[in-house]
Amino acid sequence: MNMDLQTGIRWMELFNEDIQQNKDYLTQLDTPIGDSDHGNNMSRGMDQVIQAIEAESPDSLEALLKLVTSTLLSKVGGASGPLYGSAFMGMLKILKGDNTSSWDKVLRGGLDSIQKRGKAEVGDKTMVDVWAPVVKSLENKQLTHVVIEEAVEATKPLKAKKGRASYVGDRSIGHIDPGAYSSALLFQAMLKSEEK
Ligand code: ADP
Ligand code: MG
Ligand code: MG
C-alpha cells in the first residue's frame, strides 16, 4: 500500500475514532490480565494526537510521524505509550533515511523498534503478535482485514511472557491481549484510510 500525508492524517483520524469507540472494550480486555487502563491510555493518547495535528498542521508525512511519536511518548503512560511511541519513531527513522521507502519497509522499522524497546518475541502475547504478521502480510501484498482479525484472536490461547499480563502467568491464557487488539484497530484503520 501507499502512504502520503493526507492518507496518514486520515489514518490517525480513523484510528482515533476506533479507539474512542472501543475504549471500554480495551479496558475490559486489560482487566483480567492487566490493570484496566489500556482504554484510557489509548483514548487520551489519540485525543492528544488529533489535537496536535489540528494545532500544528504537519506539512509532510515525516512531520506527521514525528508529531505522533512525540505526542505518544509524552502523553501516554504505561507500557503502551513508550511502545507505540517507539513504533512511530522506528517508522520515522526509515522514512528519514530514504523518503522513497515502501510503506511495508517503514512499518517493518516500526516493528523492529517495538521489539528493541520491549524485547518481546512473536508468541509472547503482546502487540508484536499483531504487528509481525501484519508486516509480513503487507510485504507479501496479502494484508486483509481477516489477517488482522485472525492475528488478534490468535493471542487468546497464548501465555503472556512480557508486560503486566506475564505477572498472572497461566491465568493469562484464554484472554485476548489488549495491546494486540489496539494494534489491530491501528491496522484496520490503516486499510480503511487507503480504501477512501
Ligand atoms: P500497562 O501494561 O503498563 O498498564 P497498557 O495497559 O496501556 O500498559 O498496555 C498493555 C499492552 O502493552 C499489552 O497488552 C501488550 O500488548 C503491550 N506490551 C506490554 N509489554 C510489552 C512488551 N515488552 N513488548 C511489546 N508489547 C508489550
Ligand atoms: Mg494496563
Ligand atoms: Mg498501567
| 17 pLDDT higher than 80 | yes
pLDDT at 196: 62
pLDDT at 150: 98
Architecture of domain 5-194: Alpha Horseshoe (1.25)
User: What atom of ligand 1 comes closest to residue 37's alpha carbon?
Assistant: 6
8 and 107 in contact (C-beta within 8 Å)?
no
CA 157 – ligand 3 centroid, Å: 22
CA 148 – ligand 1 centroid, Å: 18
pLDDT at 62: 97
Give the span between the Cα atoms of 153 and 177, in whole angstroms.
9
Residue ID of nearest Cα to ligand 1 atom 3: 78
User: What atom of ligand 1 comes closest to residue 182's alpha carbon?
Assistant: 16
CA 164 – ligand 3 centroid, Å: 8
Query: What percentage of the chain exceeds 90 in pLDDT?
Result: 94
Query: What percentage of the chain exceeds 70 in pLDDT?
Result: 99
pLDDT band at 145 (very low <50, low <70, confident <90, very high): very high
| 46 pLDDT higher than 70 | yes
| 121 pLDDT higher than 90 | yes
| Domain assignments of the chain as residue spans, ordered by start | 5-194
Residue ID of nearest Cα to ligand 1 atom 9: 80
Q: What DSSP line would sit under 4-25, residue for residue?
A: -HHHHHHHHHHHHHHHHHTHHH
Residue ID of nearest Cα to ligand 1 atom 22: 118
Give the span between the Cα atoms of 71 and 113, in whole angstroms.
17
Amino acid present at 98: D
172 and 166 in contact (C-beta within 8 Å)?
yes
Q: What ipTM describes this predicted complex? A: 0.99
Contacts of 123 (CB under 8 A, 6+ apart): 129, 158, 161
What tens digit of pLDDT does each residue of 68-99 get? 999 999 999 889 999 999 999 999 999 998 98
pLDDT at 29: 98
Residue ID of nearest Cα to ligand 1 atom 14: 179
CA 114 – ligand 2 centroid, Å: 17
CA 30 – ligand 2 centroid, Å: 6
User: What atom of ligand 1 comes closest to residue 178's alpha carbon?
Assistant: 14
- Cα distance between the two ends of the chain: 13
Ligand nearest to the CA of 166: 1
User: What atom of ligand 1 comes closest to residue 120's alpha carbon?
Assistant: 24
pTM metric for this prediction: 0.98
pLDDT at 1: 86
| 112 pLDDT higher than 70 | yes
101-105 mean pLDDT: 95
pLDDT at 99: 84
168 and 33 in contact (C-beta within 8 Å)?
yes
